[in-house]
Amino acid sequence: MIGLLLAGVVVALWLDALAARELAGMYSRRLCADSGLQWLDQSIALQRLGFVRVDGRLVLRRQYRFEVSLNGSDRHRASISLHGRRIASYVLPARELPE
């Protein structure tokens, strides 16, 4: 009985991780589109996982990394952090100002 309960918890955590990764991918693609960047490789990777307090509640903090291009021929690292299901912060490469 305990084994079945433990298996259920593991499956629930795995499904939550997949949903959070998909959400981070959606957010990062939207950030890239809004910033005029190209999201590369159609992939996003979990970089850091931990806990943080938000409004007195303990939630998972997930930081993901992905790569973007400014002009289609370069590669830059970018990241997005989620506290629970919300964007806490993101880092995108700076675009050069025209002369």
Per-residue pLDDT tens digits for 69-98: 998 889 999 999 999 999 999 999 987 756
pLDDT at 98: 62
pTM of the full structure: 0.85
Confidence of residue 1 (pLDDT cuts 50, 70, 90): confident
DSSP for 29-67? Answer: HHHHHHHT-EEPTT--EEEEEEEEEETTEEEEEEEEEEE
What residues does each domain of the chain span?
2-91
Q: What is the pLDDT of residues 36-76, one digit of tens each?
A: 999 998 889 999 999 999 999 999 999 999 999 998 889 99
